[in-house]
Amino acid sequence: MNKRKKLLILIAKKMLVFFVSIFALSIIAFSMSRIAPGDPLVSYYGDRAERMNTEEREHAIHRLGLDGTLTDQYVAWFKGAIKGDFGESFKYKENVLTVIAGRLVNTLLLGGIGFLLTFFLALLLGILCALHEGDWLDTLLCKVGTITSCIPEFWLSLVLILIFSVTFHLLPSSGAFGLGEADSILSRIRHMILPMVVIVLSHLWYYAYLIRNKLIDEKRKEYVLMSKSMGLTNRQVMWRHCVRNIMPAFISIMAISLNHVLEGTYIVEMVYSYPGIGTLSFESAKYHDYNMLMVLVIIMGVVVILGNIIGQIISENIDHRMKEEAIIEDAEVVASEKI
Partner 1 sequence: MKRFKGKPLVSAIILGLIILGCVFAEVIMNHDPVYMDLANFDKAPGKEFFFGTDNLGRDIYSMIWYGGRCSLMIGFLATLISTTIAVVYGTLSGISGMLVDDIMMRFTEILLSIPGILLIIFVQAMIGQQNILAISIIIGVTSWMSIAKMVRTEVKLIRTQEYVLVSKQMGAGFFHVLGKHYFPNFISSIMFMIVMNVRSAIVAESTLSFLGLGLPIEVISWGSMLSLSEKALISNAWWVILIPGVFLVITLMCITNIGNYIRERMNKGESNM
Partner 2 sequence: MTNARDNLVIDIENLSVEIKTETEKINAIRNLSLSLRQGEILAIVGESGSGKTMVCRSIMELLPKSAKVTSGVIKAPKNEMAMVFQNPMTSLDPTMTIGKQLSYAIKSRNKIKDKTEIKNRAIELLKLVQIDRAEERYNQYPWQLSGGMRQRCVLAMALGLEPKVLLADEPTTALDVTVQASILGLISSLREKLGLSILFITHDLGVVAGIADRVAIMKAGSVVECDTTENVYHSPKHEYTKELMNSLPSNAGEFEVKSVENVETVLQVKDLSHYFKLGRKSYIRAANNVSFDIKHGEIFSIVGESGSGKSTLARCILNMYKPNSGEIIYDENVVLASDKVKMSREDKRKVSAEIRVISQDSDTALNPHMTVRQVIEEPLLLHHMFKTKAEMYAYMEELLDDVELPRTLMDQPVTMLSGGQRQRVSIARAFGSKPKLLIADEPLASLDVTMQMQIVKLFAHLIKEHDTSMLFIAHDLSMVRFLSTRVGVMYKGELVEVGTTEEIFNNPKHEYTKKLIAAMPIPDPDIEREKIRLFKERV
Residues near partner 2 (CB under 8 A) are 133-134, 221-223, 225-232, 240-241, 244-245, 321, 324-325, 327-336, 339
Q: Find the binder of partner 1 among 7, 8, 166, 247 (CB under 8 A).
A: 166
Choose the contact partner of 329 out of partner 2, partner 1, none; CB within 5 to 8 A by kind: partner 2
Helix or strand or coil: residue 88? strand
Q: Find the binder of partner 1 among 259, 310, 313, 315 (CB under 8 A).
A: 259
Angle between helical axes of 290-330 and 243-256 (0-180°, round to 10) = 150
Q: Which is nearer to partner 2, 39 or 324 (CB)?
A: 324
Asked if 10 is part of the footprint of partner 1 (rule: CB under 8 A), the reply reads: no
Choose the contact partner of 150 out of partner 2, partner 1, none; CB within 5 to 8 A by kind: partner 1
Q: How far is the CB of 251 from partner 2 (least distance, A)?
A: 13
Q: How far is the CB of 230 from partner 1 (least distance, A)?
A: 28
Choose the contact partner of 62 out of partner 1, partner 2, none; CB within 5 to 8 A by kind: none
Q: Give the amino acid at 309.
A: I
Q: Give the amino acid at 4.
A: R
Burial tier of 142 (Cβ tally within 10 Å: 0-12, 13-18, 19+): middle
Q: Per-residue DSSP letters for 105-116?
A: HHHIIIIIHHHH
264's CB contacts (< 8 A; 6+ apart) are 114, 153, 198, 199, 202, 203
Q: How far apart are CA 268 and CA 272, in angstroms?
A: 6
Choose the contact partner of 228 out of partner 2, partner 1, none; CB within 5 to 8 A by kind: partner 2
Q: How far is the CB of 93 from partner 2 (least distance, A)?
A: 56
Helix or strand or coil: residue 135? coil
Q: Which is nearer to partner 1, 40 or 87 (CB)?
A: 40
Q: How far is the CB of 225 from partner 2 (least distance, A)?
A: 6
* Nearest of 148, 156, 112 to residue 258 by alpha carbon: 112
Distances (CA, A) of 64 to 31, 74, 149, 260, 279: 17, 13, 44, 34, 23
Q: How far is the CB of 211 from partner 2 (least distance, A)?
A: 17
Asked if 151 is part of the footprint of partner 1 (rule: CB under 8 A), the reply reads: yes
Q: Do the Cβ atoms of 120 and 202 come closer than 8 Å?
A: no
Handedness of CA 20, 64, 277, 183 (dihedral sign): positive
Q: Which is nearer to partner 2, 103 or 214 (CB)?
A: 214
Region near partner 1 per CB under 8 A, out of 95-103, 185-193, 301-309, 317-325 = 301-309
Handedness of CA 144, 145, 147, 148 (dihedral sign): positive
Asked if 154 is part of the footprint of partner 1 (rule: CB under 8 A), the reply reads: yes
Q: How far is the CB of 142 from partner 2 (least distance, A)?
A: 16
Binding site for partner 1 (CB under 8 A): 17, 21, 24-25, 28-29, 32-33, 35-38, 146-147, 149-155, 158-159, 161-162, 166-167, 173, 259, 262-263, 266-267, 270, 281-282, 285-286, 288, 297, 300-301, 304-305, 308
